């Protein structure tokens, strides 16, 4: 029964590689496919520009009121958000590299993840893959 329900290892590898960062195809129209620095910078620019426009509406000023200063502040917000996105990517990549390195150095510490018959839980439990529109199969 378990052989019938087990997912093919090549399919697991394909799905894992597709979900990983820098493996998915990019689309300029879909910001959910952008890298984290660009996504953070885009969100910061849109939010800052919207806030500046709402501030002009609240004060009943024309749209071009203090335009150059606001463009500079919006660009600064985008630059700061881009830097925070780069910092986030660096943090998570370093964390994953340290974890994988520790696993490769100490394989005996992870043999406790087997059941009473010696099978790893990866062979017993079926993998769960969320069905989301950004994980479309590209053939």
Residue-wise pLDDT for 112-127, tens only, equals 665 666 666 666 677 6
User: Distances in Å between the alpha carbon of 91 and those of 4, 31, 44, 76?
Assistant: 40, 22, 20, 23
**DSSP code of residue 7:** P
The three-class DSSP label of residue 58 is helix
Q: Is 118 helix (H, G, I), strand (E, B) or coil?
A: coil
55-89 residue pLDDT tens: 999 999 998 999 999 999 999 999 999 999 999 99
Name the residue ranges covered by the structural domains of the chain: 34-126
pTM given for the model: 0.65
Calculate the CA 54 to chain-centre distance. Answer: 30
Are 138 and 25 in contact by the 8 Å Cβ rule? The answer is: yes
Q: Quick one: angle between helices 36-59 and 67-105, nearest 10? A: 150
Q: Could you give the CA distance from residue 127 to residue 94 in angstroms, rounded to a whole number?
A: 26
């Amino acid at each position: 029964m378990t052989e019938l329900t087990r997912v093919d290892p090549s399919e697991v590898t394909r799905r894992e590689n597709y979900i990983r960062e820098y493996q998915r195809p990019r689309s300029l129209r879909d910001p959910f496919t952008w890298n984290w620095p660009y996504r953070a910078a885009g969100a910061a620019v849109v939010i800052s520009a919207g806030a500046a426009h709402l501030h002009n509406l609240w004060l009943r000023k024309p749209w071009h009121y203090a335009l150059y200063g606001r463009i500079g502040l919006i660009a600064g917000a985008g630059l700061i958000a881009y830097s925070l996105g780069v910092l986030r990517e660096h943090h998570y990549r370093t964390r994953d590299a340290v974890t994988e390195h520790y696993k490769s150095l100490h394989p005996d510490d992870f043999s406790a993840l087997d059941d009473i018959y010696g099978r790893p839980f990866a062979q017993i439990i079926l993998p769960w893959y969320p069905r989301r529109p950004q994980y479309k199969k590209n053939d």
